[in-house]
Structure 1
Amino acid sequence: MATLRPYDKMPMVNAAAILLVGSEESHLELMAGAMLKEPKTFEVKIHTAPALPLPYERDPVRPRFDMVVFIINRHSQRSLARALSSITHLDAHYFHGRVCFVATKGGQGQMQHCVVDTSTVRDLADSHLSVLVHSELDHAEDVVYTARRLLNMLKVCAGLVPGFSSLYMGTIAKRF
């Protein structure tokens, strides 16, 4: 159960691998399904996990992850706790633009029912120099929009966009 490192394996040609980490399996499935349905010019390998570290036995067949996305449900303190404990199992090189946080729930009329405050998730993303995306995974349009955003960021992180590096991710991706 070692630290996940971005440069231990060779990159795939015209392909990118993403790891979705979250305690809500339904959110992981929704996001993975939406990402697979989107038209794209490169191959996408999507892996999901409830938390890190990943099992060591599968390491030889596991691809190099170009991007790690933590999906935090703002209605669940357990979701935030799992993200916080999982972050410690990532190599520091992932925090050079290869980590993204997706905060779900808390849209119009639901803010008073949130257990996790928006500022907590924003501070978490800021302290790790990562992009924060707010999304309502209860609406199909928001799921598709979030999937498109993640695919665009993944394309940059995988090195498939000439002239851009994942180091620029914080400056080219606006927070929503």
Structure 2
Amino acid sequence: MRKMSNSNKTEDKTPEANVTLSKMMMYSAIQQPEPLAEVGNLAVNWREWKSAFEYYLIASGKDVAPDREKCALFLHVVGKFGREMLEEMELSYEQKINFDVLLDKFSKFCDPARNINFERHVFFELYQKDDTFDKYLSSLKSKSKTCEFGNLRSSLILSK
């Protein structure tokens, strides 16, 4: 029998194992999103954080992971503030390990239903004041996102 040295141990691995190992090393270099911010508008913070987390799941290859694993990753990345919100929600264990349910509960908690009439009123009351045109245009575009204008959005914000 031939004894293998420690330096040849990597040669024992199957090609699939080597690919998996290289993927894991590549994915570990992807930076996770910052924890959910406590300061500022919770709804805006949540929408931005959720979007970043969904991109992170895809980029890290975890979008196809089992729900339980995605939920654990979610609760780790969302940070202390997010986990404190989870305690306020009083979810069952089954709800905490179902990724779609967990995401839905957080969305409803952080970004409750909006009053569309009020959102549109605020949009139409925006004025340029002392802002540059670019800053004003950015404000209009940002505010219009919550107004549910649909196809009218681009015609209500004329930038050219």
Which bracket does the TM-score occupy, shorter chain normalised?
under 0.3
- TM-score normalised by length of structure 1: 0.25
- Higher radius of gyration, 1 or 2: 2
Q: Which protein has the bigger strand share?
A: 1
Higher-RCO chain (CA-CA 8 Å, sequence separation at least 6): 1
Q: Which protein has the bigger helix share?
A: 2
